[in-house]
Amino acid sequence: MEISKFQSLMKDLYYANDNRRGIYRTTLWLFEEMGELSHELKKNSVKMDKKAIAEEMADIYAWVASLANLLEIDLNKAILSKYPNKCIKCNHKPCQCQKDL
């Protein structure tokens, strides 16, 4: 599914609730999901549950789409502008920037 279609789906499904909740509280939900992802990632590799991690990532993506809808931001356009087909700093693919990781 393309980013724009996903954002549109989130709008169809949740915009009314997102709008009632507002930007501030929707952002809190996003942070909560990020905390849940962090919780899953803190587990050692034996206990790590990739299905749970994937679900938390999907939740984060959904909350970002909700925020974008509330702010009338076209996520697809924003992502392609910010992350074109090459590194925006060194103009290479893959990136060849030398920086601290």
Residues that bind Zn ion (CB under 5 A): 87, 89-90, 95, 97
Which is nearer to Zn ion, 13 or 80 (by Cβ)?
80
Which is nearer to Zn ion, 13 or 97 (by Cβ)?
97
Which is nearer to Zn ion, 51 or 82 (by Cβ)?
82
Tokens for 2, please give them: 């393309």
Minimum separation from the CB atom of position 79 to Zn ion (A) = 17
Q: Please name the amino acid found at residue 3.
A: I
Q: Mark 55-70 as b/e (b = at least 16 C-beta within 10 Å).
A: ebeebbbbbbbbbbbb
CB atoms within 10 A of CB 74: 14
Minimum separation from the CB atom of position 86 to Zn ion (A) = 8
Minimum separation from the CB atom of position 85 to Zn ion (A) = 13
Minimum separation from the CB atom of position 74 to Zn ion (A) = 25
Which is nearer to Zn ion, 25 or 86 (by Cβ)?
86
